[in-house]
Amino acid sequence: MLSFSPYSFGMGYFYLVPQKNQIYTAILVDSSNRKLAVKMLPKTYDDGYVLQVEKSSGSIHANVFSSGEYGEVSLVVHSRNQIIYSEKHTIKDGKTFFHVDFEKLEEGISLFTVFDPTGKPVCERLFFKQPKPVDIEFICPQKVKTRQKVLLPFSFNEINDAECSISVYHSDDLSDHKQADIQSYNLLTSDLRGNIENPSFYLMNSDSAIIAADNLMLTHGWRRFRWNDVLEDTFFQNHFCLNITDKL
């Protein structure tokens, strides 16, 4: 029996090491012992890979585990179509470890992908790096008359060159900070499926936002590999906007 607590927005996690030939069922029970949900977990496989990604002391530890000796595996990390890291390691005793420099990661989502000895992608993991806060200083006049022209100087304290735009809103229009904006779209929601509640929260540099973002990567970000397709070597079929099937 395992226990966990939802951290933010109803998402949490727990660790489970599945055993061969075992069927697992998740029964969600609250603190009052009320049964909330029952879900059959996916079937466990005798063969496969597991990728575990964790941040520690300025580096990212990417640990690859396998159910047997699978020879040399590759780890590729990329973001926005740019390869950030690529290394090959040999699996020994069912495991191998990669270390990625955290500072080399782009802000936003990076994709960690493991390739088997034949070059086939076998598992992936998304990792989110919070953007650095931009220190902007505005010099605002104390009082402004109606329809008075306003000169609003501002400066970036840590940036020499920048391209930016400025919008002016009435303060009442900014009461809801949970809506998506350009930054949250570019760094977060554009790479994920489904609706993301309060996307701007995940961009904050706080312990709670970092943990919540990692939970978000584990839920909304798990999307590409189905082990049935990997094991059966299923060929991807292109889908076009208009498909017509008939006999000649």
pLDDT at 224: 57
- Secondary structure letter of residue 105 according to DSSP: S
* Closest C-alpha to 68, from 48, 88, 89: 48
176-197 tens-digit pLDDT:
556 778 889 999 998 888 889 8
Q: Has residue 246 got a pLDDT over 70?
A: no
Q: What are phi and psi of 214, to 5 degrees?
A: -65, -40
A 10 A CB-CB count for 60 gives: 21
pLDDT tens-digit map of 39-76: 898 888 788 899 999 998 889 999 999 987 668 999 99
Q: Spell out the residues 6+ positions from residue 184 whose beta carbon is closer than 8 angstroms to its own.
A: 199, 200, 202, 203
The 10s digit of each residue's pLDDT in 3-51 is: 777 778 888 888 888 887 888 888 888 888 899 889 898 888 788 899 9
Name the residue among 81, 84, 46 with its Cα closest to residue 66.
46
CB 50 within 8 A of CB 92: no
Query: What token pair was written down for 175?
Result: 């009461």
Residue-wise pLDDT for 84-127, tens only, equals 999 999 999 899 999 999 999 999 999 999 999 988 888 899 99
Lowest mean pLDDT among 6-10, 217-221, 226-230: 226-230
pLDDT at 238: 57
**Which of the four pLDDT bands, split at 50, 70 and 90, describes residue 1?**
low
